[in-house]
Amino acid sequence: MISDKKALRKHIRGLKETFSSSKLKNFSQNVTDRIQREPFWQNAQTVLLYSPLKDELDITPLIKDATLNGKTVLLPIVNGEDLTIGIYKDDTSLTKGAFGISEPSTENFPKEKYSKIDVAIIPGMAFDRHGNRLGRGKGYYDRFLKKLTGTYIIGVCFPFQMFEEIPSEEFDVKMKKVFY
Distance CA 81, CA 94 (A): 20
Q: Which one-letter amino acid corresponds to residue 147? A: K
Question: Residue 118: what pLDDT?
Answer: 98
Question: Residue 170: what pLDDT?
Answer: 85
Q: Hey, where are the domains in the chain? A: 5-179
Question: Residue 171: what pLDDT?
Answer: 81
Confidence grade of residue 1 (pLDDT, cut at 50, 70, 90): low
pTM tops 0.85: yes
Q: Specify the fold of 5-179.
A: Rossmann fold (3.40.50)
SS3 159: helix
Strands, sheet with 162-163, edge to edge from the N-terminal-most edge strand: 133-134, 126-128, 162-163
Distance CA 167, CA 70 (A): 38
How many helices and strands, by DSSP H and E, does the chain display? 5, 11
Q: What is the mean pLDDT of the chain?
A: 94
How many degrees, rounded to 5, is the angle at CA 30 between CA 26 and CA 31? 120
**109 closest CA partner among 77, 73, 85:** 85
